[in-house]
């Protein structure tokens, strides 16, 4: 499997005129996007979601964290009435 460093030397990145003068972090982001695009080419939406979740779980595991897949009823905003004093 190719790494982001391999993608920094990919012809698609090297031949992109916009990337010639780009800052290094911008080039790395573009390389990471190319990597994800190549790895997920031809996948269905469900397969891509599973692939990305697997990567997130692998990233969080060393920290002792897990993904929360059940967000039902969570994250709803509750608004307090605005009191205007004149």
pLDDT tens digits, residue range 65-76? 888 766 666 666
Report pLDDT for 59. Answer: 93
- In this predicted structure, what is the pLDDT of residue 1? 79
Q: What share of the chain is helix, strand, coil (3-state, %, to 5)?
A: 55, 0, 45
Average pLDDT of span 4-19: 90
Give 13's contacts (C-beta < 8 A, 6+ positions apart): 7, 19, 27, 30, 31, 34
75 or 12: which leads in pLDDT = 12
pTM attached to this predicted model: 0.62
Mean residue pLDDT of the chain comes to: 86
């Amino acid at each position: 499997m190719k790494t982001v460093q391999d993608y920094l030397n990919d012809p698609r990145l090297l031949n992109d005129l916009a990337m010639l003068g780009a800052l290094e972090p911008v080039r790395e982001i573009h390389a990471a996007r190319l990597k994800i695009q190549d790895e997920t080419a031809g996948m269905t939406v469900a397969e891509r979601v599973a692939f990305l979740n697997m990567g997130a779980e692998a990233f969080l595991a060393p920290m002792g964290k897990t993904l929360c897949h059940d967000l039902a009823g969570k994250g709803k905003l509750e608004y307090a009435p605005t009191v205007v004093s004149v």
